[in-house]
Amino acid sequence: MRLEQLRGVGPKRLELLARNGIVSLETLLASLPAAYVNAINPTPLGQLTEQPHCVEGVLMEAPRRHFYGGKSAVRAKIQDETGVLSLTWFNQPWMATQLKKGDELLLYGKVGFYQGAAAMVNPRKIQERGIQPIYRSLKGLPGKTFSGLARQALDAISEDEAETLPAWFLDTWGLCGKRFAWEQAHFPQSQELLDQAKRRLAFENLLLYQAALLGVGQRGCAGLRFSNTEEDIDVFWAALPFAPTQGQRKALEDVFDDLQTGYAMRRLVQGDVGSGKTAVAFGAAFLAAQSGYQSAMMAPTDILAQQHHASAARMLAPLGISCGLLTGSLNAKDRREALESISSGAWQLVIGTQALISDSVAYHNLGLVITDEQHRFGVQQRQSLAEKPGSRNQAHMLALSATPIPRSLALVLYGDLEVSLIQEKPPGRLPAKTRIVAEGKRKELYRYILDSASRGEQCFYVCPLVEEDEEQDTKSVKETFDFLRKGPLKTLRLGITYGNQADEQKAEALRRFAAGELDVLVASSVIEVGVDVPGATLMVIEDAERFGLAQLHQLRGRVGRGSKESWCFLLGQPNDRLRVMTQSEDGFFIAQQDLEQRGPGEFFGTRQHGRNLPDAYGVGDIRLIEQTTACLKALAQEPAQSEFLQYLMQLSQRSYGDVFKSGRH
């Protein structure tokens, strides 16, 4: 049976499913619930904590409906023998007519405490006891409808059609069948059976993801042997206007060691925001130039490439290293000159965007490839740069990432790379102080922004959505921009930028802000990476609860890059989760908290269309990752299993090949 043969799947719904990567019965069933509500034993109202709960209680009075600013709020309270819980539904006025005093309600939602009283915002009504799946929101396709499609798909697919792994393999690793796993994942009969399903699906996802990495990473292949000595490292550090940290020294020594082995370097330098990874990358480019090789450094945005080029000129020009810039925004004359400088070798370090891998670019003697903000690029993109015309066979690869990744996630994301960590920041770097700002303190916040602007300081103002979403009570970028420029910040110079804005408009907004021509930049999380504005001392984040902790930490890292005191203001109700941000500057600690609280699927923020990680379960379980790593290693070392290993790698390309090419992993 095909997807379009399911009841309820017409042309429009088929198109909606396809946009979300669902093109067959198998991909429909592989789109697993984002979470589960265990409605078997609801939590007594007197025992609630600041986290999601399933609760049960009696409505104490008829719901009250309020209107404000064109929006609605329905408020009510439930009670049981242990306590009382306040309820609020925003922009759901129908709840006032659906509920009446004395109704017994089974609800699920995140509990917060306001002035000591427990409350839930937009709780979900649960229709029956049991383990209820919650599907990620697809506009125009409610979770109940998706569940019905999953039921039809299961009824239409047999055990043999669903299964992808041989029986002997399932027995060896204690895994249940795939159709059974899908059945329990979408319609769990018990927690024990759901756990079995999760383990099976997670095991296969992680195994195939790592098999795909094995297929394209090519770690351990022959590479160029550079002719540097350790004195070259000392010469590089001595030429810089600052003393390197121990972490920076160790990372460059790791790079130096790799370059002497005769194998192609595949290394990730991972460090918190402001830890000095770029200086290590320039040190690697210096070593390459000293050995007679060209380097290319690829950044995800024009403005970040431009900033790297300016930094490289300052650091490397005194050492006799010539640097050039290649981006898609160059005019025809500058582009021709850039291509000539690259192919002739006049530029020893070429810095740019994905323009570096376009067909018209030929290198002179490329021996080192550097990618910045590693999670924005796929393995295939790194590889294609190393294989450009003029690149030496098996050029070395160095990747940089400012996103702190817990070890369990790093093993999956960067399975083809060795990792160097820089865990301290350069001396003199002032941390951004972080405060949670409740709704009632907005006027004071606006006054503070105005006062800061009068001192010549700049402010990032970040919102989670671009357009207003009726399903979520959040502030959109455009709505907030209009409100601020007509209202509390009308005397300031405001700009706006967001993810799907035209590239030229986005680049111009970022350029003007970096040049000090704007006081406030209203933005989506597009400014999470690639903007270095020393004059920016304020980071304001609307609806901070909607962001992951790791993403909040990344955004906070956009300020505190100059010599002035900086602040990060998180707009939202105080809770234990946001308080982590006020208590710690350690990106790795924050990232681990984020992974534990939100799960891997949302670790990098709002999920993109399709997969950006092994989709399902288990990425946060280090034991499962270690098991799949050991399994793959054993298969690779056993000649008798070579045919099965090749089968897994083919399967992995069908599942994850597009992810590596697009850079979403």
Distance, in Å, from the CA atom of 210 to the CA atom of 221, rounded to the nearest integer, reads: 18
Q: How far is residue 214 CA from its own chain's centroid?
A: 22
For 485, phi then psi, to 5°, come to: -75, -20
The full set of domain ranges for the chain reads 36-125, 230-422, 433-584, 622-662
Task: Collapse the DSSP code of 437 into the 3-class scheme (helix H, G, I; strand E, B; otherwise coil) and give the result.
Answer: strand
Residue type for position 184: Q
Distance, in Å, from the CA atom of 627 to the CA atom of 614, rounded to the nearest integer, reads: 15
Q: Which pLDDT score, from 0 to 100, does residue 615 have?
A: 47
Residue 200, pLDDT > 70, answer: yes
Same fold, 36-125 and 230-422: no
Task: Give the tokens for residue 600.
Answer: 């891997």
Q: Where are the beta strands (DSSP E) in 509-627?
A: 520-523, 536-541, 567-571
CATH number of 36-125: 2.40.50.140
Q: Which fold has domain 433-584?
A: Rossmann fold (3.40.50)
* DSSP letter for each residue of 221-258: -B-------HHHHHHHHHHSSSPPPHHHHHHHHHHHHH
Q: Which pLDDT score, from 0 to 100, does residue 439 have?
A: 82
Task: Collapse the DSSP code of 418 into the 3-class scheme (helix H, G, I; strand E, B; otherwise coil) and give the result.
Answer: strand
For the full predicted model, state whether its pTM sits above 0.75: no
Beta-bridge partners for 331: none
- Which phi-psi region, left, alpha or beta, contains residue 618 (left: φ > 0; alpha: ψ -120 to 50)? left
pLDDT tens, position by position, 595-604: 777 655 555 4
- Which phi-psi region, left, alpha or beta, contains residue 112 (left: φ > 0; alpha: ψ -120 to 50)? beta
Order of all β-strands in the sheet with 266-271: 323-326, 349-352, 294-298, 366-371, 391-401, 266-271, 418-422
Q: Which pLDDT score, from 0 to 100, does residue 412 have?
A: 64
Residue 411, pLDDT > 70, answer: no
Q: Between vectors from CA 86 to CA 81 and to CA 91, what angle results, nearest 5°?
A: 145
Q: pLDDT-derived band of residue 608, with 50, 70 and 90 as boundaries?
A: very low
Task: Give the tokens for residue 189.
Answer: 């009969």
Q: pLDDT-derived band of residue 359, with 50, 70 and 90 as boundaries?
A: confident
How far CA 412 is from CA of 312, 415, 452, 601, 628, in Å, comes to 32, 5, 43, 13, 10
Radius of gyration of the chain (CA): 27
Q: What does the pLDDT average to over 279-289?
A: 97
Q: How far is residue 426 CA from its own chain's centroid?
A: 25
Q: Which pLDDT score, from 0 to 100, does residue 607 have?
A: 37
Residue identified by tokens 């796929």 is 378
Distance, in Å, from the CA atom of 199 to the CA atom of 617, rounded to the nearest integer, reads: 7
Across 464-473, 480-489, 525-534, 656-665, least confident range: 656-665
Distance, in Å, from the CA atom of 27 to the CA atom of 149, rounded to the nearest integer, reads: 12
CB atoms within 10 A of CB 352: 26
Q: Answer for the pair 436, 578: CB distance below 8 angstroms, yes or no.
A: yes
Higher pLDDT, 222 or 227: 227
Nearest CA-CA partner of 121 in 207, 177, 190, 53: 53
What's the whole-number average pLDDT of the chain?
Answer: 85
Tell whether the torsion through CA atoms of 25, 653, 526 and 410 is positive or negative.
Answer: positive
Q: Which fold has domain 230-422?
A: Rossmann fold (3.40.50)
pLDDT tens, position by position, 430-481: 778 999 998 889 999 999 999 999 999 999 999 986 655 444 445 688 999 9
Higher pLDDT, 650 or 503: 650
Distance, in Å, from the CA atom of 36 to the CA atom of 437, rounded to the nearest integer, reads: 31
The percent of residues above 70 in pLDDT, for the chain, comes to: 86
Q: pLDDT-derived band of residue 220, with 50, 70 and 90 as boundaries?
A: low
Task: Give the tokens for residue 432.
Answer: 């951004």
Distance, in Å, from the CA atom of 103 to the CA atom of 86, rounded to the nearest integer, reads: 15
Residue identified by tokens 């390459």 is 288
